[in-house]
Structure 1
Amino acid sequence: MSFPLSPAEVPRRLLSDPVFIRALKGRDLSVVFAMARDSGISFNRMAEACGIKAERVSKVARGEARVSSLDAIERITDGLRIPGALLGLAARPWEQDQTHGTEPHHGEDPMKRRQMLRSAVAAGLTGTALAALTDTRQSFDHALAADTPAELSDLEAAAESYGYGYHGQDPAKVLADLVVDFDGLRPLLNTPQPVAVRARLCRTGAQLAGMAGIVLHDLGARRESRSWFGTAARPAEESGDRQLHAWTAAREAMVPLNYGAPKAAAAQAEHARHIAGRAPSAAAALAAAVAARAHALCGHVEQARLALADSERLMERLDGGQRADTWFGYPEQKHRVHMSHALTVLGETGRARESQQRAMELSAPTSTMTRTLLSLDAATCAHRDGDTEQGCRQATAAFTALPPAYRTGLTRTRAMDLYRRIPAASHREPAVLAFKEALAA
């Protein structure tokens, strides 16, 4: 028997979520329904797929009712397409026919491929992991030449969820999950669809690829990061979403900006500004801020100040949606982080400290990387104002407080930028030596 795609199939990322797995093992369906709802599946969709009244699904999710009968549990397992073994059941009949009309990548089982991707990336950015990333990205590039998918709501919900940032999670784990969901788009690219559906696919693919680029950037894999932003740019442009296209270009500019190529960053940021246009948008404000930082690093003081002023003007005119605190929005907190770096590089330490203080006030305690970058900017300001000892102590404290997974990539690069600014004559001072040792460790 062939089983069609369930309208309430849970996203594959949930099937590797420890909380979700634990709930399945304990048959705690209140957690299962609640997490499925948070992933973008409505109670009505779950009810229809599982043969249960929507009101009862809602009550179970709130913990006001329980499901105990084996028949109901089996219907829920089938309706949400959860492998039977996760609930202590025998393999369900549909598990023998779950390709849903698509061919597994390179002849592999989709679940095995997802596990391979997750394991390869989680093990570190080695040659094996980078090869898997490249293969996944290039497969998507090739698949874009075909027509597109039908059901995107779950992946769109996943993209929205990732957009809220790390929230204290290990960047490598976030990257692994992102790539798994991104790979989920590829098998859906073979069925002809209306133009509007293709636009949705392209938009979601651009978002997921762009966010993978962000995480790779933060982890220090700059070449791979730029490749993913390059992949993101094509579907972003095809989707017709001009601001998403500008966002991918501005985000790509941050790679050379933060890894020692400010001239390339300035050119890319100006390209992003051209795409975004003059109208107020999160992408336009971001592009102007990145351009300001790049021009400051190049020593183009006047251009940096003009771009800063433009970013301030755009920021003040953004509506609530454009100011959303996500990777795609441009909230005041993000603006102040960019201003902190640009003003620090320009040597305007008074204004830089004001931006640092405001950004710290607006940053969540879980914003580990952002708060560290602000502390390193403050340490650089102390050095520029003549108190190198205090600057090194502050930088050492910020860097050593980071979890090991965060002491790489962008944070290390920013800390090294400060160390290189310190004159050789000061390198034997105790505070400078301690800072050097922290970087070496």
Structure 2
Amino acid sequence: MKRRNLLRGALAAGLTAPALAALTAARTDVDQTLPPGAPQDLADLEAAAESYGYGYHGQAPTRVLAGLVTDFTALRPLLAVPQPAPVRARLCRTAGQMAGMTAIVLHDLGSRRESRAWFATAARAAGESGDQQLHAWVLAREAMVPLNYGAPRAAADLADQARQAAGTRPTAAAVLAAVVAARAYALNHQSEQARAALTAADALMNRLPESERSDTWLTYGEQKHHVHLSHAFTTLGDTRRARESQQRALELSAPTSTMTRTLLTIDGAACAHHDGDTEQACRRAVDALTALPADFRTGLVRRRALDLYEAIPAQHHHEHAVRELRDVVTG
């Protein structure tokens, strides 16, 4: 009461220095009882996560990895202290995004065990954030580890979990989960299920809001869709549709998308092998691999080229082009 009367008296004389001091004291008293706002560091880290989502842009994967892990560790002090619930949710969401993208880079580099560990961290953070679509995205991206490294049944299980988590709304995570499931079914020789999942993925893609169609790791654009379709149709032996998707994906891929363009070329080589021209298939794959910087000639790219080599019957392994592919892949 005394402070209120003093404030009234000070304001009666106008916005004098004592009045302004009394106003500041009144605001400070209340402000100190309110929950703290979001720390500035959080906005900076959210912006960093968005930036990393645009992929490699011609940078070596190891360089992107170093930046991601450095920024990810900056989240720890913010997560270690009590925060208002909305701020805590934002912190966990950013942690889930960064951990998931770190796992993607590790997957591309061939570090499967480390990739799975980071996906587990991403899933925990996404779960605590309450963002169900982020959780579905993490599961769908994690499914690509066993998908690309020889365990399609495990990939199908994770993709099915992602589809359930994403629900039926047309979201980036829902389309990704469906198309990854299709690829896993195709590798499992479950062609009927694969084509059903591809139909579902196309239907979701047709309804996907523009806000989720940008070309980032966290969203799902047309280029990414055709990259997945290329591999799915190649695996199914539907080389006509595979080539259509390869052509469209290449049209939409930036010149700096080194890894993506190489994977599409290897898919095209696999189509050539399926259609009976194994020599051309090997030469295309060798040309694509030898044109790559050394930092990119590992992990996923090497695995996809090795899949092509292993698909060639043993009686052809003595042929020059096939031996050249083997030497490049194993060298």
**SS of the residue 2:211 aligns to:** coil
Deviation by residue 1:202-253 (Cα, 9 ceiling, x = unmatched): 0000000000000000000011101101100111111111111100000000
Query: Given the alignment of the two structures, is residue 312 of structure 1 paired with residue 202 of structure 2, yes or no?
Result: yes
Matched, 1:150 2:39: yes
CA offset at residue 414 of structure 1?
Answer: 0.2
Aligned match of 1:232: 122
Match of 2:110 among 220, 230, 247: 220
State the secondary structure of the residue aligned to 1:166: coil
1:424 aligns with 2:310: no
1:196 paired residue number: 86
Output aligned runs, 1:78-89, within 5 Å.
none
Residues 126-141 of structure 1 mapped to structure 2, 5 A cutoff: none
Question: 1:339-354 maps to which residues of 2 (within 5 A)?
Answer: 339-354=229-244
5+ long unaligned stretches in structure 1: 1-147
Cα displacement (A) at 1:426: 0.8
Identity percentage of aligned residues: 66
Opposite residue 260 of structure 2, the aligned amino acid is T
Query: Displacement, 1:190?
Result: 2.8
**Matched-pair contact (CA < 8 Å) for 1:297–1:345:** yes
CA contact under 8 A between 1:372 and 1:399: conserved in structure 2?
Answer: yes
Aligned-partner Cα distance in 1 for 2:149–2:330:
19
Match of 2:297 in 1: 407
Work out the CA distance in 2 between the residues paired with 1:167 and 1:218.
Answer: 14
2:53 corresponds to which of 154, 163, 178: 163
Equivalent-residue separation in structure 2 for 1:438 and 1:149 (angstroms): 51
Provide the secondary structure at the position in 2 that maps to 1:329: coil
Q: Which has the higher contact order (CA 8 A, sep 6+)?
A: 2
Name the aligned partner's letter for residue 195 of structure 2: R
- What letter corresponds to residue 315 of structure 1 in structure 2? M
Match of 1:366 among 256, 261, 275: 256
1:149 Cα shift?
7.1
Residue type of the partner of 2:56?
A: Y
Residue among 170, 177, 192 paired with 2:67: 177
- Return structure 1 stretches of 4+ with deviation > 6 angstroms: none
**TM-score, with length taken from structure 1:** 0.66
Which residue of structure 2 aligns with residue 290 of structure 1?
A: 180
If the length of structure 2 is used for normalisation, what is the TM-score? 0.87
Secondary structure of the 1:321 match is helix
Mapped partners of 2:80, 2:128: distance in 1: 17
- CA shift, 1:430, in A, is 1.4
Q: CA RMSD in A?
A: 1.1
Q: Tell me the SS of whatever aligns to 1:235.
A: helix
Question: What is the rounded CA distance, in whole Å, between the counterparts of 1:215 and 1:346 in structure 2?
Answer: 27
Q: What whole-Å deviation, never above 9, does each CA across 1:138-187 have from its counterpart, x for those lacking one?
A: xxxxxxxxxx9733011111111101000000100110110000000011
Aligned mates of 2:177, 2:110 — CA distance in 1 = 21
In 1: Cα distance, 2:63 partner to 2:286 partner: 26
Q: Give the unaligned 5+ runs of structure 2.
A: 1-36
Match of 1:248 in 2: 138
Q: 1:56 is matched with which residue?
A: none
In the TM superposition, residue 425 of structure 1 has moved relative to its aligned partner by 0.9
Report the counterpart of residue 275 of structure 1 in structure 2. 165
